[in-house]
Amino acid sequence: MTTTVQPPAVATAPIEDVRVVRRRLGPGRRIPGAFWIGPLLVLTVWSLGSATGLLKPAILSAPWDVAVAAREQWTGNDLLGNILASLQRAVLGLTLGVVTGSVLAVVSGLSRIGESLIDGPIQIKRSVPTLALIPLFIAWFGIGQEMKVLTIALISLVPIYVHTHNGLRGIDGRYAELAETIGIGRTEFVRHIVLPGALPGFLLGMRFAVTSSLLGLVVVEQYNATAGIGHMITLAEQYGQTDVIVVGLVIYGVFGYCADSAVRLIGRKVLAWRRTLED
């Protein structure tokens, strides 16, 4: 009689979905409408402080006073024109800075010769505040639109260069070994592996560049501007209109918050192939 030996039973545990694990160990599920929670909380605290008298009007105007001032600026002082003038400067400067910084980062990140020629001057520039160069820019380009756009561009250029360059140099060396093994050429390797791999660094640099461009915008619009949010704030300061000053600051804040959120949204869409705790 032949006895058949059965293999021992192996206990099998259900495999937990990776996305569920990330949510349990990471920050958790995405909260609907979370985009507005922080700003609404700030507005609530501001309103309560103004209503209870903790925030004096001479220190910080109440939200409802700021809303009235914004309406008056819109109807009587061309607030829309000032917003468009500031947006034009910011977009032109940011675009110039992003394009230039990206090109320099690619040349420096993919070539030792390029790095020796480019990286040193960029690092020197990092130690010199761009706003300290404004007097020189005024002497070179005057106090018109060119000076303002170039200042914003130079401020935006540095974070784009630094983070994109770091992303290019941070590609795992095993990808290069794999590409060499399967016979991928340098051009295809750069296009399909290196540049996509550097995209997270570029997008991080974009977030810093957007904030930096607004910082530069605030400063350059104080110099002989005939239109723009900074021009509006300068006039309000001369006449002691605190509520109008706060209107300008709120607009700058909205610019920055919306631009940063847009970059983050683009990053989630473009980098959908990456699996991070943010997903």
Structural domain total, the chain: 1
Whether 231 is in a domain gets the answer yes
Q: Which two tokens stand for residue 205?
A: 């640099």
Decide if pLDDT at 195 tops 80.
Answer: no
206: pLDDT strictly greater than 80: yes
pLDDT at 15: 43
Does 153 fall in a domain?
Answer: yes
CA-CA distance, 17 to 172, in Å (whole number)? Answer: 27
* Residue 75 pLDDT: 86
| Confidence check: pLDDT of 209 > 60 | yes
| pLDDT level of residue 27 (50, 70, 90 thresholds) | low
Confidence band (pLDDT; 50, 70, 90) for 93?
very high
Domain that includes residue 202, residue range: 61-270
Q: Is 99 within the bounds of a domain?
A: yes
Predicted local distance difference test score (pLDDT) of residue 12:
47
Question: Quick check: is 156 in a domain?
Answer: yes
For the chain, how far is it from start to end, CA to CA, in angstroms?
Answer: 60
189 contacts: CB under 8 Å, gap ≥ 6: 175, 176, 179
Q: How many CB atoms lie within 10 A of CB 11?
A: 5
200 in Cβ contact with 274 (< 8 Å): yes
Place of tokens 């109008």: 244
Please determine, for residue 29, whether its predicted confidence score (pLDDT) is greater than 80. Answer: no
- For the entire predicted model, the pTM comes to 0.76
210 SS3 class:
helix
Residue among 154, 122, 157, 159 at smallest CA distance from 220: 154
Distance between CA 140 and CA 150 in Å, rounded? Answer: 11
Query: Which of 23-37, 51-65, 165-179 has the highest average model confidence (pLDDT)?
Result: 51-65
Which residue, 35, 19, 18, 93, is CA-closest to 264?
A: 35
Asked whether 243 and 68 are in contact (CB, 8 A), the reply is yes
Distance CA(209)–CA(228), nearest Å, equals 20
Mean pLDDT of the chain: 80
Does residue 208 lie within any of the structural domains? yes
Q: Which residue has the tokens 């545990």?
A: 13
Q: What is the mean pLDDT of residues 181-186?
A: 71
User: Can you tell me the mean pLDDT for 82-91?
Assistant: 90
pLDDT tens digit string along 244-262?
Answer: 888 988 898 888 888 888 8
Asked whether the beta carbons of 223 and 143 are under 8 A apart, the reply is yes
Residues 205-211 have a mean pLDDT of: 90
CATH of the domain at 188: 1.10.3720.10
In a domain, 16, yes or no: no
Q: What is the pLDDT of residue 99?
A: 93
Asked if the structure places residue 261 within a domain, the reply is: yes
126 token code pair: 């990092």
CA 3 to each of CA 6, 191, 268: distance values in angstroms, whole numbers, following the listed order: 9, 62, 60
118-150 confidence digits (pLDDT tens): 888 888 888 888 878 888 888 888 888 888 899
Residue 41 inside a domain? The answer is no
- Tell me what pLDDT residue 96 has: 94
Q: How confident is the model at residue 217 (pLDDT cuts 50, 70, 90)?
A: confident
